[in-house]
Amino acid sequence: MKLYIETTIPNMLFAEDAPEKRRATEVFFAWMRICRDDLYVSALVESELALAPEPKRERMARALRQLPLQVLPVTAQAEALANSYLAAGIWTPRSKDDAVHVATAVCHELDVVVSWNMRDLANVRRVARINEFNTRRGLGAIRIATPEEVMDT
């Protein structure tokens, strides 16, 4: 599988307020080091992580450097698709980065976006709306799942 690792994943490695998710994320990082799946982030993930305060920013960057990640560009096609998602009401403008993450994964024909963002991404109803939208435009389907769900497959 081709997995897109969204920004909430490395962020959760250092979340003091969610110990269960933090532990699950630590297990997921260990799993990613040995899994056979192709792992991706985008330039947007890098930009979002650059906004984190030190020393957390460096700790997240170090954790990601230990993975066999490929960095994808956010293409003009992905930006246009994200804007189409917004125009269709799948996300509000406040959540544009979430739309860009998904659009980037769709445009690069990845299989799964891995996220802890349950409200705006790993949400069954939203994924259904995204895939209905994509189908009408001849685009591939995307799955959005938590690390725990990905490791169970």
In this prediction, residues 97-117 reach a mean pLDDT of 98
CATH 3.40.50.1010 fits 2-152, yes or no: yes
Domain parsing of the chain, residue ranges:
2-152
Distances in whole angstroms, Cα of residue 22 to Cα of each of 9, 29, 93, 128: 9, 11, 29, 27
pLDDT tens digit string along 70-94?
999 999 999 999 999 999 999 999 9
What is the pTM for the complete model shown?
0.96
**Confidence tier at 152 by pLDDT (50, 70, 90):** confident
Query: Helix crossing, 76-87 with 96-107: angle to 10°?
Result: 130
